[in-house]
Amino acid sequence: MLLVFIFLYLISGTSDPYVKFKLEGKQFYKSKVVYKNLNPTWNESFTHPLRDREHIVEVRVYDKNRTADEFMGSSTISLKNLELYKTYEMELPLDDPKSKEDDMGVIIVDVCLMFRDPWPITTWPHGNSNVETYQGLSLSNQLKNQMWTGVLGITLVEGQDLPQYGHGDIYVRFRLGDQKYKSKLLVTWRERFDFNQFEDNQEPLQVEVCSKRGRKGEESWGMFEIDLSRLTFNERQLYTHALDPGKGRLVFLVTPRPCWGVSISDIETAPLEKPDERSRVMEKFHLKNSHKCVGEVGFLQVKVIKANDLPTTDLNGKSNPLCVLELGNCKLQTHTIYKTVNPEWNKVFTFPVKDINDVIELTVLDENGDKAPNFLGKVTVPLLSVQNGQQICLLLKKEDLESASKGTITLVLDVIYNTVRAGIGTFQPKETKFIEENLKFSKKILARNIYRVRKISTAVLYTLQYIKSCFQWESTQRSLIAFLIFLVTVWNWELFMLPLFLFLLISWNYFQLTVGKASSNQDLVSAEDSELSTEKRGLMDKIYMVQEVVLAVQNILEEVANIGERIKNIFNWSVPFLSCLTCIVLFVSTALLYFIPLRYIVLIWGINKFTKKLRNPYAIDNNEILDFLKRVPSDVQKVRVQFYIHKPLLTSL
């Protein structure tokens, strides 16, 4: 097999250029972006296997933009007449048929054609000493370029002297290469996130403050860049950057840190298969070292062995599968195996674990040249469910992970972590995903969510009805036992009994599960079955179902809004009588709580509740607080009341 070795190092005529190389319409290499340089130097080399010497390599140059990258011209490299093991320096003029410019610039490359296993190449023309020595196929370089060597920790602190009113929602956008982060719509953010830093990527950190009005209106208040090459590992740098005139300042912290535990290797050289490496990892996360490197929770190794019976995407009944692994915001991928539905990757990937509650996602894609890859299947594995060293064969699922796709994937996973660090990390803010899917309306998801809310509300209502039945003496034995438990508990109540009660409740549920082995997913399965049955309904049934669901959502939202507005209107003195009455009740409650111990007040309340039905069998049970809130008008009712008040006055005039 022949190999083409290309060394890319110069172009002129663009601003933020990068280069794509294609063969038979499929991209096989993409260079890094050189920012703000009309004569950039890449110093990049790569190899690619060829089936014959008749191929023509297409070279396409793009200008990196924040929205859509701009095409800057293309050229071709003919390999037909090249001699083996001879380096050719080529000056390729760029051309764009749609452009009226005659001079689009040039790109300079060194090209060498060779057999698969030549002797190492150690020198290249032009005195370049930064090019790596050739040691095999371009596959090794492509896999290596995925690995990050550092982590850039960014803490978004606050905005100072920002305009307060009439400027919409304010947020901050960060970008480092392909990694993007958008803050919440606040002024004092206090948000923290991490970007991965790659050794061969010297791109600056881009920061932009924006103001959003409505759905489409967006105004930039200033954009600037941070040169990361001047920062030192583990040293925190505080930035207070002035925005556009009159827009204030932005305050944030940047801390670069080294990263450990990222690698891609073959099955034979898996890190945990080496005794020395495994003992080093075990020592690093041993309990006695819990106080060291608290942020490094654990170590994950994933052996991606093979996939079987994948869906076909080509006309010849084959696919070009690759596997993408994601853990939080960290992503690695295998090489592509062409024209097969039973690929064998036999690659080992390792990740540093930041949160033991994370889920490793493996997505099998079909490479589709310049177009977006086709989805073939996906699986997710919680780290806490991993059985170390066990080979598992998982069924691939569709993108929503709710139904099965075609094919399987075979994996071996190992997770080594420190229990103390993992426990501490569980109580810290969860890492935010940089890329979030755009939510779309789905009546299936809406119906399922309504079912979930209804299930929870039903359980709450059942519990309340059970407690209410104790007050109603529907069962004399049950009410008497509840009354005695209430008296004994309240009289002997201490604060430590609350967590003790919750502990006993959780322990009792665990005992019930271990004895009964009850499945907690039966209701969800039945819900899915009911949803599938609704798919078979007629059009009118579906319309009525959606109307019922939307009406239920509307009523729930209205009740929540009414309660919030009524509480607000009490404090706003919208109805002075009710606000005065609230003041009196609060004053009396304060005096009672000051002079009378809380234990006695709860006893009096409970005795009244338990004996109310005995004293008056025909009494109507009520909730005084809710009954009071219903008297307070909501904002909608305030408008209606004011309308009915003023209308007769206007009529009389």
- Residue pLDDT, tens place only, 512-546: 777 765 444 545 444 445 544 544 456 566 666 66
The arithmetic mean of pLDDT across residues 321-350, rounded, is 91
pLDDT in tens, 88-146: 888 888 888 777 777 778 888 888 887 654 333 333 333 333 333 333 334 555 566 67
For residue 539 the two structure tokens come to 């059009």
Beta strands in 12-117 (DSSP E): 17-23, 26-30, 44-50, 56-63, 70-78, 87-93, 106-115
Q: Given this structure, which CATH class describes domain 141-258?
A: mainly beta
What are the residues whose beta carbons fall under 8 Å from the beta carbon of 237, sequence distance 6 or more?
231, 253, 254, 255
Burial of 503 (0-12, 13-18, 19+ CB in 10 A): exposed
Decide whether 2-113 matches 141-258 in CATH topology.
Answer: yes
Q: Is the pLDDT of residue 436 over 60?
A: no
> What average pLDDT does the structure give for the chain?
78
Q: What is the pLDDT of residue 415?
A: 94
- The structural architecture, per CATH, of the domain 263-426 is Sandwich (2.60)
Answer whether 297's CB lies under 8 Å from 417's CB.
yes
* Other residues' Cβ atoms within 10 Å of the Cβ of residue 94: 22
Q: What is the pLDDT of residue 378?
A: 93
Q: What percent of the chain has pLDDT over 90?
A: 13
Q: For the structural domain made of 2-113, what CATH number should be given? A: 2.60.40.150
Q: What is the pLDDT of residue 233?
A: 86
pLDDT in tens, 387-434: 999 999 999 998 888 788 899 999 999 999 998 888 888 878 777 776
The arithmetic mean of pLDDT across residues 480-503, rounded, is 82
* DSSP secondary structure code for residue 170 in this structure: E
**pTM confidence score:** 0.60
Q: What is the pLDDT of residue 506?
A: 74
Most confident of 179-183, 391-395, 621-625: 391-395
Q: Match 């396409």 to its residue by tokens.
A: 60
Indicate the domain borders of the chain: 2-113, 141-258, 263-426, 444-514+543-641
